[in-house]
């Protein structure tokens, strides 16, 4: 079975581009437009989701809060933050909180795929929290 990547981004066009960039790779994509939806998908497909790509600036629950919720419920799931706004302080905070990568849009396909592959490799095959 292919690896699953969960995209959490409120903009459908951004989700579409990520899907396009990951097409033809070993990864399949699940999409969530907001944090609640992402948490639902994580609950239902925890065993199959290897990497989460998360936006920062979103209405309602922001990316910062979403990362915190996901880290709490699924501490070993690798999270890549993908943002339009480069902010060094924010990047440091995210990395400290356990995020595996902080990528600034626009990112080219090769770089994104490489980052997702690297993150997936870090994901343990067995996560006691995900059972």
Partner 1 sequence: MATRDLGENLLRLAVHASPSGILIVDAGGEIVFANEALLGMFDYELDELLGQPVEVLVPPVDVELHRKHREKFGARPVPRAMGRRESFGAVRKDGEEFSVEIGLRPTEVEGERMVVATIIDVTERRRIEERLRRYDEHLEELIEQRTQELREAQAQKEQVVERLIQSEKLAAIGTLVSGIGHEINNPLYMILGTAEALQDATDVDDCRQFGTEIIEHCRKISGTVTNLSRYARPGSMDNTQTVDLNDVVEAAIESVHRTKRSDEVDIVWTRQPVAEVPGRPDELQQALFNVIRNAVQASGEHGVIRIGLEERDDSVDVMVRDNGPGIPEEHRSKVFDPFFSTKGPDDGEGLGLYIVRQIVSRHGGDIQVTCGEGTTFTLRFPASPKTDRGETS
Give the residues lining the site for partner 1 (CB under 8 A): 10-14, 16-18, 20-21, 57-59, 83-87, 104-109
Cβ neighbours of residue 14 closer than 8 Å, sequence gap 6 or more: 55, 105
- The nearest distance, CB 84 to partner 1, in angstroms, is 3
Which is closer to partner 1, CB of 12 or CB of 75?
12
Show the tokens assigned to 87. Answer: 């902010």
Give the shortest CB-111-to-partner 1 separation in angstroms.
Answer: 11
Q: What's the rounded Cα separation, in Å, for the pair 66 and 48?
A: 19
Q: How far is the CB of 77 from partner 1 (least distance, A)?
A: 23
83 close to 56: Cβ distance less than 8 angstroms: yes
Contact 10, 58 (CB under 8 A): yes
Among residues 107, 93, 101, 96, which one has the least CA distance to residue 120?
101
**With respect to partner 1, which residue has the nearer C-beta, 14 or 46?**
14
CB nearer partner 1, residue 4 or residue 21:
21
**Shortest distance, position 57 Cβ to partner 1, whole Å:** 5
Q: Are strands 49-54 and 27-32 parallel, antiparallel or unpaired?
A: unpaired
For partner 1, the closer CB: 54 or 74: 54
């Amino acid at each position: 079975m292919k690896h699953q990547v969960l995209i959490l981004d409120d903009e459908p066009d951004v989700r579409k581009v990520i899907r396009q960039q990951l097409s033809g790779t070993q990864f399949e994509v699940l999409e969530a437009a907001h944090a609640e939806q992402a948490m639902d998908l994580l609950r239902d497909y925890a065993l199959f989701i290897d990497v989460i790509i998360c936006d920062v600036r979103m209405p309602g629950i922001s990316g910062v809060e979403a990362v915190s919720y996901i880290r709490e419920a699924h501490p070993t799931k690798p999270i890549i933050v993908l943002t339009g706004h480069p902010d060094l302080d924010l990047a440091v905070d995210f990395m400290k909180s356990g995020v595996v990568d902080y990528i600034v849009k626009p990112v080219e396909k090769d770089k994104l795929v490489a980052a997702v592959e690297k993150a997936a490799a870090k994901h343990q095959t067995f996560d006691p929290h995900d059972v």
